[in-house]
Amino acid sequence: MRVLVTGGAGFIGSHVVEALQARGHEPVVFDVRDDPDSDVRDREAVARALSGVDAVCHQAAMVGLGTGFADAAEYVSRNDLGTAVLLTAMAEAGVRRLALAGSMVVYGEGRYTCGRHGVVRPGPRAVTDLAAGRFEPRCPVCREAVSPGLVGEDTPADPRNVYATTKLAQEHLASAWARSTGGAAVSLRYHNVYGPRMPRDTPYAGVASFFRSALARGESPRVYEDGRQRRDFVHVRDVAAANVAALEADSAAGALVAYNTGSGEPHTVGEMARALATAYGGPEPVVTGQYRLGDVRHITADSSRLRAELSWKPEVAFVEGMREFARAGMRGS
């Protein structure tokens, strides 16, 4: 299978390229890092790149929190306009198979259970609570403590920043494309991806990258809030394998199917910082109590659907992955 990989020179995309090659496929890299003309917003460039292609793995995106609106137009242009141009070209070229880099950020806060009111969806955390160090969400009905759980794909979307909004819009565009063309689309909703070639010293990198960059400078990783916020850290090679599984699967035509893509083993951000610092050889993390508006408290995945339907499972354990990441090379951007 000849597969166009947008963003194929990037962090996740480069691992997807290697995973495709290992399975005997022919990846075609389309990335502005390699060629300034390889922009998914360029209709002619995309049309040329799709020549002879059987499927597309769409990894190209502007990533990060996007908490304010200063970059909103750029996020929408790169992520949503770019996706629309790509899908239009795919429709015209007769390419009917798509794997999309989705994100867990479309959910907003994770799944919570209140002892009195069952499953609830807390709203955004108040600045007054965050400033006072009250980081845990409360039941929106009785204001009592709630317990975090795993988020399933059927959870209603609740994007809480610009980036999250564009990732949800990408899914809607892909779904509309699938219905219109009879194509098969899969959105892999990545959780916190980490591993070799992660970008360093960039405002759009993930928390693992920030911690690793600090350690390389001889500085302590700075952990926001109290470090007890839960995430699902999934290794980039496992994410790449999920993309290959999605492209090889006999997916339903005319629809988009979303799959959570996580390790299935929640860890706190503080745990991750300590594991990485230990593997690197110090210094120890510092819990700052600071916060960022737009961050959610707990978001962890139920990836059982991906395991069951695509026969995928993560292979890199948390401790093993952090040991490797502690010594792995990183990208400048």
Largest CA distance in the chain: 58
Q: Which of 67, 263, 81 is nearest to 164 (CA)?
A: 67
CA distance 281 to 323: 10
CB atoms within 10 A of CB 183: 24
Q: Residue for token digits 């795919």? A: 90
CA distance 140 to 2: 49
CB atoms within 10 A of CB 36: 9
- What does residue 194 show for φ and ψ, rounded to 5 degrees? -145, 165
β-sheet bridge partners, residue 30: 6
Angle between helices 269-280 and 318-327 (to 10 degrees): 50
DSSP strand pairing (192-194 vs 26-30): unpaired
Contacts of 197 (CB under 8 A, 6+ apart): 11, 14, 15, 236, 328, 329, 330, 331
Active-site residue, 163 included: yes
Angle at 237 between CA 299 and CA 241, to 5 degrees: 90
**Catalytic member of 75, 112, 163, 190:** 163
Q: The tokens of 324 are what? A: 């490797």
Q: Sign (positive/negative) of CA torsion 83, 88, 91, 94? A: negative
CA distance 254 to 175: 8
Contacts of 86 (CB under 8 A, 6+ apart): 6, 40, 46, 56, 58
Catalytic residues: 163
